[in-house]
Structure 1
Amino acid sequence: MGATDDVLSQVQVDDALAGLPDWRYRLGGLVTVFKAPTSAAALELVAAVGRAAEEQDHHPDLDWRYNRVFVRYSSHDAGSQVTPRDVTAAAAASAAAAGLGAAAEPGLYRTVELALDTEDAAAISEVWRVALGYRRGSGGDLTDPYGRGPALWFQETSTPGPNRFHLDIHRSKAESGPALAKAAATGALMNHDHAPSWVVVTDAQGNRLCLCTEEGHGPERPQP
């Protein structure tokens, strides 16, 4: 069996998440945030997740911020998609967090992408890949191999906007409501034509961003 043969479909991911209440799906990975009682406990959690990763030979992206630990699991050898290995690892991380008194706050995990309007992505993407030192993702996007910088997503369109760059800000559908309400309260123009997959937000000067959810952004991802 090849590395890509065990990639989970979106239905299978959804089924797995039903048993992983601490976790959310996000652009080819399972993500969450754990809030530990203290900074020291957060470091203990990082160490515990690291030990499990060595035992499983499956390593997450980890980011420690005082008493919070941001975690993302994805199978890079399977095209940066979710496999059963990620589900098993996520369950083990949740167990370690519970043992240390850490609470899950998955709504805090936001993912920001740069989106570039273009009539022909193939004509320009290599320039950006080389300049950024990124690698090419399975969906044509460019990603930081070290998980530090935002991904660059090429939105192919015959009618690019005057400002060809905008941000795609990804939250889980479960936590998207308050963000949409707060954006609307600023007076921004809200275009819900593609909701709940994404909502286009335009500020008073015509600058756009998209507030996105995992709805419609699974392994067969459409273009916002």
Structure 2
Amino acid sequence: MDSREMPEPVSGHWPKRSSDAADHHPHVDLRPDGVTVRLPTPEVDWPSECDVTLARQISQAARELDVPADPAALQHLNVAVDALVIPEVLPFWRALLGDRDKGPEDLIDPHGHGPSLWFQQTDARRTGRNRLHVDVSVPHDQAEARIAAALAAGGRLVTDQNAPTWWALADAEGKEARVATWLGRD
């Protein structure tokens, strides 16, 4: 949303009425060229049902104010690190990133500015590919466009067997990334 198009008396208050009702408060980043509303849910690594409901309410409030949204600009970056023994690698990353912590397998930026790191348990050291991949979470209705753009830019589809939850893609050198949505999560 372009903050220059928001009515001034409402610009700081429109997300509040929905978030107060849900007791789930968004992070609002207000800049001259736009407003970004993030809905962090510390309990899970993907948007919760509460996040989706609140996002819809915020989007509706923006529409009522004639503030255009740009859902194609939405995303969340999560770096996934494959590890054989998570407790052996987690302390290194925690120290390196300034003592981020969420739990036994995740490192979250306490200020919500950078990506989180998620440590994925593996059963064998992988040799044919990288042991690190990037998860880019987007709205479910933007996933296919994002995948198409990555493929058009020289990427390739590694697998779509977990769609619509996530698709694995690779760049020209084989480094992997996943396009993920909130659909299909337990």
TM-score (norm 2): 0.75
More displaced, 140-149 or 119-128?
119-128
Q: Find 1:114's aligned residue among 76, 79, 85.
A: 79
Runs of 5+ consecutive residues of structure 1 not aligned to the other structure: 1-34
| Aligned counterpart, 1:151 | 116
Q: CA deviation at 1:177?
A: 1.1
Distance 1:91 1:135, change over 3 A: same
**Larger fraction in helix:** 1
| Aligned counterpart, 2:158 | 191
Other structure's SS at 2:13 match: helix
Runs of 5+ consecutive residues of structure 2 not aligned to the other structure: none
Aligned-partner Cα distance in 2 for 1:91–1:188 = 32
| Aligned counterpart, 2:148 | 181
Which one has more relative contact order, counting CA pairs under 8 Å at least 6 apart? 1
| Aligned counterpart, 2:27 | 61
Write the deviation string for residues 34-59 of structure 1: whole angstroms up to 9, x where unpaired.
x24x5262765541146548965642
| Aligned counterpart, 1:11 | none
Other structure's SS at 2:112 match: coil
TM-score (norm 1): 0.64
Give the letter aligned to residue 100 of structure 2. Y
Write the deviation string for residues 124-178 of structure 1: whole angstroms up to 9, x where unpaired.
213322332312158x322112110101011222133553322111112211111
Matched, 1:201 2:169: yes
The percent identity for this pair of structures is 29
Aligned-partner Cα distance in 2 for 1:202–1:167 = 10
Distance 1:103 1:127, change over 3 A: same
Please report the RMSD computed on the Cα atoms of aligned residues, expressed in angstroms: 3.1
Aligned-partner Cα distance in 1 for 2:74–2:24 = 21
